[in-house]
Amino acid sequence: MPMIIEPRAGDAEDDASSTKKRSLIAIAGSMLGEINLPKLALAWIILALLPGVLLGLAPLVATAWF
Confidence tier at 53 by pLDDT (50, 70, 90): very high
Taking only the tens place, the pLDDT of each residue in 16-37 is: 666 677 788 888 888 888 888 8
Residue 61 in this model has a pLDDT that exceeds 80:
yes
Q: Which pLDDT score, from 0 to 100, does residue 59 have?
A: 92
Residue 64 in this model has a pLDDT that exceeds 80:
yes
5 in Cβ contact with 11 (< 8 Å): yes
**Sequence-ordered list of residues with C-beta below 8 angstroms from that of 5, at least 6 positions apart, any chain:** 11
Residue 14 in this model has a pLDDT that exceeds 70:
no
Q: How far apart are CA 22 and CA 28, in angstroms?
A: 10
The backbone region for 3, taken as left when phi is positive above 0, alpha when psi lies in -120 to 50, beta otherwise, is beta
